[in-house]
Chain A
């Protein structure tokens, strides 16, 4: 049975829909009301606040912390400046991705790592020979994501110190909220302007209350995972266990992915000393990848026409979906779309798909399977670069 998160007392009061799910062993809100749409729109036009405490969090500390993290990450973590956050992934010896997450350099020899999967054992195993300590602080640290165009103003109103307003994209600072020491990073999973707040779990409620109060005049809403899921599809962010699987859990090689195949090539630095998976990744970089992750935009007129041929108006869920469907190029299957959904802001029907690399050409028309009235049909979908939605304010 899942556990309550440090914010449960507040979230359970507000979650009048009683729509919950399990996330990494915790109860997490799907949507506070019966529909997640107000929460989605809050993120895109004011602000939303999400309990992200279930993320796994590790402190990596010691004289060799930098070398150790550079060794286990595909990204050259050694290049992170003080206060900088790096997004990247961890691979096995064969260059297959185990997990993705962020690394924040809080001190010369002190890092905080977040991940989607429990990774303590794996970190510990590889830390042998390094003068470093890995500590799982997952349950000691509570976390909130504050996302949306108003997030900066809300934080400026509620934070005491740390020059939060000047924080650059993917940097962090120390501040105080309601007297509680809070680490603030300008990160998130919505593709919008946004921040994440990291604080001691025992004092989490004080911070929640203060931010909620500060958010009121800005029409901020508490945010659940359903709205987040729509945002992350628009942002083109992949999700472990949905768009790819940890090599650790895969039964066959085909099920595994490399960073290049997941569109994470930009996070891989191969021109450096040894790191886990380096040789395989170097090889792949020169010979090319088998798969590629692409964005797809489903042709609306065709979809509407398909429904019309059944005498129906188009029926689209406002939820993002995550049951994979085949993707075709003229009759032969070339991959699968693993998640997607209707983008209210773009008025487009989006999907994230893994396809054979040869088909990853922006503008190319493929077909995606659509089921109408229990019948499987195909509708055109155009290969598109991600992010689908990328407002300037995200980095500005």
Chain B
């Protein structure tokens, strides 16, 4: 008789690997099947140009759960996170703002634009840290189970908040504002200067097809403050060797605990018989059987492509059909022969040891969104740029650098259709390089290699349906007990023995590992595997 696994994991992204590691650690026989030749999914490092290692998709990490790092001994398997030291905003007029770890230095920098804002800034940070404390248990525990399923029912969240140490009336008001307002409107209540409002509001729209003035986007700001690079509340960092090193470390841990991992093993569909998932069939026709199948690919792909409507209840199929993916971002990675030098702060400096935002004003962001609404990529997009080689010498040859540009907006649904993206790929790449070159004058001469990823590429190459970087927008109505569908937020699916563990489940996208770990926990504690 053919071999049978306790669990087959669909996809070797970081969540699939985390899930595999926890199941294997608990003694289960686990097989991970990854379509690509490398592990990591959207957390992947690849040597795209000789000597240059790109974090091809995700490029910074904030929410990777420290308890997972401890449980799986990830530092022993090569994980190292290096905090960003700065958030840098160069402006077209030659001025710039850098926000540092050092509060006094940051205050002086902001005061150059607005003295009032410079003093409000730390108050804002403190309020957000409090809010993050209240909301944080949400991402470390399975989604709350509300009595009612009203789409914007905040009561559950607030009940949870109260539960963990008292939310003052003031904070409750603040939280409900964050749940309903737009990121830009919310920030208008605090700050007067665009140099704060523009780069801060942008974190509310990453990975969504919304603008900074779209209601509900304020909540996602909190994710920024929840970043827990040190267990203490700290924000973003690089992963040494690129974000793929996170996946590699998790894979090494999973193997250490006994999991088997195969690459270049693309799954065609999930086998179903007698109303349960019984295994998978690979694209080459190989059948592999397992007691449970755990999918880490997005809900759309899992249910509508790999399982098939015929095996699922109609209302569930409808809900998954409604689940918003709407990719809106792309990525441009550059190998360059010199340090990028910004005209507003030339040469090497601490401002390069962090992230760099190209978004000079809220209006700029709105204009970028306007184009996207009509099915065009922004000709002057928002860019989030990092130069990881400045702190991590392992990713580029000495003296040379990698520049990673996260780009928004690049709508999946171009007006000429998503499949026309390949024809626009280079023009999109040019728009990004042109934008950045306005701040880095000799950028173009320095480029040795350029990698452009459109939402279409993210779908075709990385299996992200509609190119959505988070397996579904992180908008409020798609979070917590409604991710991916009301009633199905606990990793279980309507098909027996089929489970979910990817970013399309609670607590959502980003390199957190929580989806994978919480899914494994749910399966183990319920003795479903």
Interface residues of A (CB under 8 A from B): 33-35, 37-38, 41, 44-46, 150, 217-219, 300-301, 304, 308-316, 318, 342, 344-349, 389
- Do A35 and B231 form a contact, CB below 8 Å, given A45-B80, A219-B393, A308-B164? no
A-B contact pairs, 25 of them (CB 8 A): A33-B102, A34-B101, A35-B101, A38-B353, A38-B391, A41-B391, A45-B80, A45-B82, A150-B393, A218-B398, A301-B67, A308-B164, A308-B165, A309-B165, A311-B166, A313-B133, A315-B232, A316-B232, A318-B232, A342-B230, A344-B83, A344-B230, A346-B75, A347-B66, A389-B75
What residues of chain A lie closer than 8 Å to B9, measured between beta carbons? none
A37's partner among B83, B129, B164, B166 (CB-CB below 8 A) is B83
- Do A35 and B69 form a contact, CB below 8 Å, given A308-B164, A311-B165, A342-B232? no
What residues of chain A lie closer than 8 Å to B393, measured between beta carbons? 46, 150, 217-219
Task: Give B390's nearest chain A residue, CB to CB.
Answer: A219
Q: Do B132 and A313 have beta carbons less than 8 Å apart?
A: yes
What residues of chain A lie closer than 8 Å to B75, measured between beta carbons? 345-347, 389
- Do A41 and B83 form a contact, CB below 8 Å, given A46-B393, A311-B165, A315-B232? yes
Q: In the complex, A346 Cα to B71 Cα: how many Å?
A: 11
What residues of chain A lie closer than 8 Å to B350, measured between beta carbons? 33
Q: How far is the CB of A343 from chain B (nearest CB, A)?
A: 8
Q: In the complex, A348 Cα to B232 Cα: how many Å?
A: 11
Interface residues of B (CB under 8 A from A): 66-67, 69-70, 75, 80-83, 85, 101-102, 105, 129-130, 132-133, 164-166, 229-233, 240, 350, 353, 389-394, 398-399
What residues of chain B lie closer than 8 Å to A217, measured between beta carbons? 393, 398-399
What residues of chain A lie closer than 8 Å to B353, measured between beta carbons? 38
Q: How far is the CB of B512 from chain A (nearest CB, A)?
A: 14
Q: Do B67 and A313 have beta carbons less than 8 Å apart?
A: no
What residues of chain A lie closer than 8 Å to B230, measured between beta carbons? 316, 318, 342, 344, 347
What residues of chain A lie closer than 8 Å to B105, measured between beta carbons? 34
Q: In the complex, A288 Cα to B210 Cα: how many Å?
A: 69
Q: Do B392 and A219 have beta carbons less than 8 Å apart?
A: yes
What residues of chain B lie closer than 8 Å to A349, measured between beta carbons? 231
What residues of chain B lie closer than 8 Å to A308, measured between beta carbons? 133, 164-165
Q: Do A314 and B164 have beta carbons less than 8 Å apart?
A: no
- Do A45 and B240 form a contact, CB below 8 Å, given A35-B102, A37-B83, A219-B391? yes
Q: In the complex, A384 Cα to B240 Cα: how many Å?
A: 27
Q: Do B82 and A41 have beta carbons less than 8 Å apart?
A: yes
Q: In the complex, A345 Cα to B239 Cα: how many Å?
A: 11
Q: How far is the CB of A19 from chain B (nearest CB, A)?
A: 12
Q: In the complex, A315 Cα to B393 Cα: how many Å?
A: 32
Q: Do A347 and B391 have beta carbons less than 8 Å apart?
A: no
Q: Do A46 and B70 have beta carbons less than 8 Å apart?
A: no
Q: A41-B82, A309-B165, A316-B232 are in contact. List 11 more A-B contacts (CB 8 A).
A: A33-B350, A34-B102, A41-B80, A46-B391, A46-B393, A219-B393, A300-B231, A313-B233, A344-B83, A347-B230, A349-B231
Q: How far is the CB of B406 from chain A (nearest CB, A)?
A: 22
Q: Do A342 and B101 have beta carbons less than 8 Å apart?
A: no
What residues of chain B lie closer than 8 Å to A315, measured between beta carbons? 232
What residues of chain B lie closer than 8 Å to A38, measured between beta carbons? 85, 353, 391
Task: Give A45's nearest chain B residue, CB to CB.
Answer: B240
The 6 closest A-B pairs by CB, nearest first: A217-B398, A347-B66, A34-B102, A219-B393, A313-B133, A308-B165
Q: How far is the CB of B82 from chain A (nearest CB, A)?
A: 5
What residues of chain A lie closer than 8 Å to B398, measured between beta carbons? 217-218
Q: How far is the CB of A257 from chain B (nearest CB, A)?
A: 30
Q: How far is the CB of A173 from chain B (nearest CB, A)?
A: 25
Task: Give A309's nearest chain B residue, CB to CB.
Answer: B165
A314's partner among B232, B240, B392 (CB-CB below 8 A) is B232
A45's partner among B69, B85, B102, B392 (CB-CB below 8 A) is B392
Q: In the complex, A301 Cα to B137 Cα: how many Å?
A: 11
Task: Give B229's nearest chain A residue, CB to CB.
Answer: A344
Task: Give B231's nearest chain A residue, CB to CB.
Answer: A347
Q: How far is the CB of B93 from chain A (nearest CB, A)?
A: 28
Q: In the complex, A314 Cα to B85 Cα: how many Å?
A: 21
Q: In the complex, A315 Cα to B230 Cα: how many Å?
A: 11
Q: How far is the CB of B85 from chain A (nearest CB, A)?
A: 6
What residues of chain B lie closer than 8 Å to A301, measured between beta carbons? 67
Q: Do B232 and A346 have beta carbons less than 8 Å apart?
A: no
Q: In the complex, A389 Cα to B79 Cα: how many Å?
A: 12
Task: Give B132's nearest chain A residue, CB to CB.
Answer: A313
Q: How far is the CB of A214 from chain B (nearest CB, A)?
A: 10
Q: Do B101 and A37 have beta carbons less than 8 Å apart?
A: yes
Task: Give A343's nearest chain B residue, CB to CB.
Answer: B75
What residues of chain B lie closer than 8 Å to A344, measured between beta carbons? 81, 83, 229-230
Q: Do B80 and A313 have beta carbons less than 8 Å apart?
A: no
Q: In the complex, A314 Cα to B129 Cα: how many Å?
A: 10
Q: How far is the CB of B264 from chain A (nearest CB, A)?
A: 29
Q: How far is the CB of B105 from chain A (nearest CB, A)?
A: 7
What residues of chain A lie closer than 8 Å to B233, measured between beta carbons? 313-314
Q: How far is the CB of B10 from chain A (nearest CB, A)?
A: 29
What residues of chain A lie closer than 8 Å to B80, measured between beta carbons? 41, 44-45, 345
Q: How far is the CB of A316 from chain B (nearest CB, A)?
A: 5
Q: In the complex, A304 Cα to B165 Cα: how many Å?
A: 11
Q: How far is the CB of B336 from chain A (nearest CB, A)?
A: 15
Task: Give A149's nearest chain B residue, CB to CB.
Answer: B394
- Do A300 and B83 form a contact, CB below 8 Å, given A34-B101, A46-B392, A313-B133? no
Q: How far is the CB of A377 from chain B (nearest CB, A)?
A: 15
Q: Do A348 and B392 have beta carbons less than 8 Å apart?
A: no
Q: How far is the CB of A363 from chain B (nearest CB, A)?
A: 15
What residues of chain A lie closer than 8 Å to B67, measured between beta carbons? 300-301
Q: Do B69 and A347 have beta carbons less than 8 Å apart?
A: yes
What residues of chain B lie closer than 8 Å to A313, measured between beta carbons? 129-130, 132-133, 232-233
What residues of chain B lie closer than 8 Å to A33, measured between beta carbons? 102, 350
Q: Max chain A CB contacts within 10 Å: which of B82, B229, B398?
A: B82
What residues of chain B lie closer than 8 Å to A34, measured between beta carbons? 101-102, 105
Q: In the complex, A41 Cα to B66 Cα: how many Å?
A: 17
Q: How far is the CB of B354 from chain A (nearest CB, A)?
A: 11
Q: In the complex, A345 Cα to B392 Cα: how many Å?
A: 15
Q: How far is the CB of A36 from chain B (nearest CB, A)?
A: 11
What residues of chain B lie closer than 8 Å to A310, measured between beta carbons? 165
Q: How far is the CB of B292 from chain A (nearest CB, A)?
A: 29
Q: In the complex, A344 Cα to B362 Cα: how many Å?
A: 35
Q: How far is the CB of A202 from chain B (nearest CB, A)?
A: 31
Q: In the complex, A309 Cα to B399 Cα: how many Å?
A: 50
What residues of chain B lie closer than 8 Å to A304, measured between beta carbons? 231
Q: How far is the CB of B19 from chain A (nearest CB, A)?
A: 20
Q: In the complex, A95 Cα to B83 Cα: how many Å?
A: 45
Q: How far is the CB of A313 from chain B (nearest CB, A)?
A: 4
Q: In the complex, A347 Cα to B70 Cα: how many Å?
A: 7
What residues of chain B lie closer than 8 Å to A345, measured between beta carbons? 75, 80-81
Task: Give B168's nearest chain A residue, CB to CB.
Answer: A311
Q: Do B70 and A300 have beta carbons less than 8 Å apart?
A: yes
Q: How far is the CB of A317 from chain B (nearest CB, A)?
A: 9
What residues of chain A lie closer than 8 Å to B81, measured between beta carbons? 344-345
